[in-house]
Amino acid sequence: MQSRDYCVRKGSHLVIITNQTEQNFASSQIGETHWIGLNDLETEGKWMWVNNQPLKKTDVTFWYSPQGGSSEPDNWNKENPSGEDCAALGHEIGDINKWFDASCLKRKRFICEK
Protein backbone atom coordinates (compact mmCIF):
# COMPACT_ATOMS: atom_id res chain seq x y z
CA MET A 1 0.00 0.00 0.00
CA GLN A 2 1.57 3.22 -1.14
CA SER A 3 -0.32 5.30 1.41
CA ARG A 4 0.96 3.22 4.34
CA ASP A 5 4.52 3.39 3.00
CA TYR A 6 4.28 7.17 2.56
CA CYS A 7 3.14 7.64 6.16
CA VAL A 8 5.97 5.43 7.46
CA ARG A 9 8.55 7.43 5.47
CA LYS A 10 7.20 10.56 7.19
CA GLY A 11 7.59 8.96 10.63
CA SER A 12 3.88 8.33 11.09
CA HIS A 13 1.21 5.76 10.22
CA LEU A 14 -2.25 5.68 8.69
CA VAL A 15 -4.80 7.04 11.14
CA ILE A 16 -6.22 4.76 13.84
CA ILE A 17 -9.75 5.65 14.93
CA THR A 18 -10.76 4.26 18.33
CA ASN A 19 -13.51 6.57 19.56
CA GLN A 20 -16.26 8.96 18.51
CA THR A 21 -14.10 12.06 19.06
CA GLU A 22 -11.40 10.78 16.69
CA GLN A 23 -14.05 9.74 14.16
CA ASN A 24 -15.71 13.16 14.29
CA PHE A 25 -12.39 14.96 13.90
CA ALA A 26 -11.23 12.83 10.95
CA SER A 27 -14.62 13.14 9.23
CA SER A 28 -14.61 16.91 9.67
CA GLN A 29 -11.24 17.21 7.93
CA ILE A 30 -12.13 15.41 4.71
CA GLY A 31 -14.52 16.04 1.86
CA GLU A 32 -14.02 12.72 0.11
CA THR A 33 -13.03 9.14 0.85
CA HIS A 34 -9.65 8.55 2.58
CA TRP A 35 -7.76 5.41 3.59
CA ILE A 36 -7.49 4.71 7.32
CA GLY A 37 -5.09 2.30 9.04
CA LEU A 38 -7.33 -0.76 9.13
CA ASN A 39 -7.17 -3.90 6.97
CA ASP A 40 -7.84 -7.63 6.87
CA LEU A 41 -5.02 -8.49 4.48
CA GLU A 42 -3.63 -11.37 6.55
CA THR A 43 -6.90 -13.12 7.42
CA GLU A 44 -10.24 -12.34 5.79
CA GLY A 45 -12.63 -10.92 8.37
CA LYS A 46 -9.93 -10.33 11.01
CA TRP A 47 -9.47 -6.56 10.86
CA MET A 48 -6.16 -5.25 12.15
CA TRP A 49 -4.93 -1.72 12.76
CA VAL A 50 -1.53 -0.73 11.36
CA ASN A 51 -0.11 -0.89 14.91
CA ASN A 52 -0.91 -4.65 14.87
CA GLN A 53 -3.83 -4.28 17.28
CA PRO A 54 -6.95 -6.22 16.30
CA LEU A 55 -10.30 -4.54 15.84
CA LYS A 56 -12.22 -6.38 18.54
CA LYS A 57 -15.95 -7.07 18.47
CA THR A 58 -16.24 -4.94 21.63
CA ASP A 59 -14.47 -1.94 20.03
CA VAL A 60 -16.38 1.05 18.76
CA THR A 61 -16.70 0.88 14.96
CA PHE A 62 -18.20 3.07 12.29
CA TRP A 63 -18.94 0.58 9.49
CA TYR A 64 -21.67 1.63 7.08
CA SER A 65 -24.88 -0.26 7.79
CA PRO A 66 -27.95 0.81 5.78
CA GLN A 67 -31.43 -0.25 6.77
CA GLY A 68 -32.39 -3.27 4.71
CA GLY A 69 -29.14 -3.26 2.73
CA SER A 70 -25.77 -4.93 2.78
CA SER A 71 -23.54 -3.80 5.64
CA GLU A 72 -19.84 -3.09 5.46
CA PRO A 73 -17.40 -4.71 5.45
CA ASP A 74 -18.76 -6.83 2.60
CA ASN A 75 -15.57 -7.95 0.79
CA TRP A 76 -17.24 -7.18 -2.57
CA ASN A 77 -15.20 -8.87 -5.31
CA LYS A 78 -16.91 -7.89 -8.56
CA GLU A 79 -14.25 -5.28 -9.37
CA ASN A 80 -11.24 -7.10 -7.92
CA PRO A 81 -11.35 -10.91 -7.49
CA SER A 82 -9.23 -10.69 -4.33
CA GLY A 83 -11.98 -8.66 -2.66
CA GLU A 84 -11.82 -5.65 -0.39
CA ASP A 85 -9.20 -5.80 2.35
CA CYS A 86 -8.53 -2.16 3.25
CA ALA A 87 -10.76 0.28 5.13
CA ALA A 88 -11.64 3.79 4.09
CA LEU A 89 -13.41 6.61 5.85
CA GLY A 90 -16.17 7.76 3.55
CA HIS A 91 -17.41 6.48 0.22
CA GLU A 92 -17.21 7.99 -3.27
CA ILE A 93 -21.00 8.13 -3.55
CA GLY A 94 -22.08 7.78 0.04
CA ASP A 95 -21.72 8.70 3.66
CA ILE A 96 -18.45 10.49 4.44
CA ASN A 97 -18.85 9.67 8.17
CA LYS A 98 -18.76 5.87 7.89
CA TRP A 99 -16.17 3.16 7.17
CA PHE A 100 -16.22 1.08 4.00
CA ASP A 101 -13.98 -1.76 2.87
CA ALA A 102 -12.41 -1.34 -0.56
CA SER A 103 -9.82 -2.93 -2.79
CA CYS A 104 -6.38 -1.95 -1.51
CA LEU A 105 -5.40 -1.31 -5.14
CA LYS A 106 -7.75 1.68 -5.42
CA ARG A 107 -6.20 5.13 -5.36
CA LYS A 108 -7.52 7.25 -2.52
CA ARG A 109 -6.33 10.08 -0.40
CA PHE A 110 -5.18 9.05 3.07
CA ILE A 111 -4.72 10.35 6.60
CA CYS A 112 -1.41 9.97 8.45
CA GLU A 113 -0.98 10.50 12.20
CA LYS A 114 2.02 10.51 14.54
User: Phi and psi (nearest 5°) for 27?
Assistant: -60, -35
Q: For residues 92 and 61, which has the higher predicted lDDT (pLDDT)?
A: 61
Residue 68 identity (one-letter amino acid): G
Q: Are 84 and 77 in contact (CB under 8 A)?
A: yes
Cα distances (Å, whole numbers) of residue 77 to 17, 29, 69, 73, 88: 25, 30, 17, 12, 16
Q: Which domains does the chain have, with CATH numbers?
A: 3-113 (3.10.100.10)
pLDDT digits (tens, 9 = 90+) for 47-80: 999 999 999 989 999 999 888 778 899 998 888 8
pTM: 0.90
